[in-house]
Amino acid sequence: MTYTGITLALSKGRIFEETLPLLAAAGITPTENPESSRKLIIGTNRPDVRLIIVRASDVPTYVQYGAADLGIAGKDVLNEHGGKGLYQPLDLRIARCRMMVAVREGYDYSGIVKQGARIRVATKYVNAARDHFASKGVHIDLIKLYGSMELAPLVGLSDVIVDLVSTGGTLKANGLVAVEHISEISSRLVVNQASLKLKRGLIQPVIDAFAAAIPK
C-alpha cells in the first residue's frame, strides 16, 4: 500500500539530535530513538508523517528521487551531491562546523603553495577541495578517503587534508593544525520539488514551523 503522508529523511547522530527541537516545533515527535532502534522507518505521533533513517551522504539522493519528501543534510553533503532537483528553502543553522585545510605541525603550507608545488590532498569532500584549490591556482592530486582523514598526512599518504572541523580537538590530538578556512557548514532542509507541488498542504506547514524555530 502506497504511503500517502510525508516522509522525512534523517541521519543518526548530531543532526538527528539537533533536529528534534525543530520537529517538536512542527508538532512531530518520533515514536522511537534511531540510536537504540534497529528500525529504518520510524513512525511519529502524527499518522501523516514518518521518518526514514539513512546515511548522511544518502539523504539528498532519497529526496531527489522522491523516496523521501523532505530531508535534512549538511551543506558539505549537498555540495558533493550537487543539489540536483532539490529545493533548499532553509538553512537550519544546526550541526555547525567549518571546512578547513589542515596539515601536520611543521609543514610549511604557505611556502609550498607560493612555490607552486603540486600537493596531495586527502579528503572525503573531493568537489569542495577541487573547487577551493582551483580558485587559488594550486595544482593538486586528490585522494578520496571515507574516514580517519587525520592519519593521511601522518603516514605520508597526503600533504594536506580537507575536512570538517568543529572544536579542533581531533586535529590537535593527532598533531595537525588547520591552516586555511574554506567555508562555514550547517545543515539545510531539502525538499523534493514534485512533492512540494503534490503535498503542499502537508509540507508547507512543516517548512514554516522549522523556519520559526531556527536557532538565532
Other Cβ atoms within 10 Å of 207 Cβ, number: 18
Task: Label residues 88-109 b or e (16+ Cβ within 10 Å = b).
Answer: ebbebebbbbebbbbbbeebeb
Measured CA distances, 94 to 3, 65, 74, 120 (Å): 29, 25, 9, 31
* H/E stretch holding 29: none
Q: What pLDDT score does 35 carry?
A: 87
pLDDT in tens, 25-56: 999 999 999 889 999 999 999 999 999 999 99
Q: What pLDDT score does 4 carry?
A: 86
pLDDT at 11 exceeding the cut of 90: yes
pLDDT in tens, 185-199: 999 999 999 999 999
pLDDT at 143 exceeding the cut of 80: yes
pLDDT in tens, 47-88: 999 999 999 999 999 999 999 999 999 999 999 998 778 999
Residue type at position 161? I
pLDDT at 148 exceeding the cut of 80: yes
Q: What pLDDT score does 1 carry?
A: 61
Task: Decide: pTM greater than 0.75.
Answer: yes
Could you give the percent of the chain with pLDDT greater than 90? 90
Question: Is 173 strand, coil or helix?
Answer: helix
Q: How far apart are CA 67 and CA 56, in angstroms?
A: 15
Residue type at position 193? Q
Mean pLDDT over each residue of the chain, to the nearest integer: 94
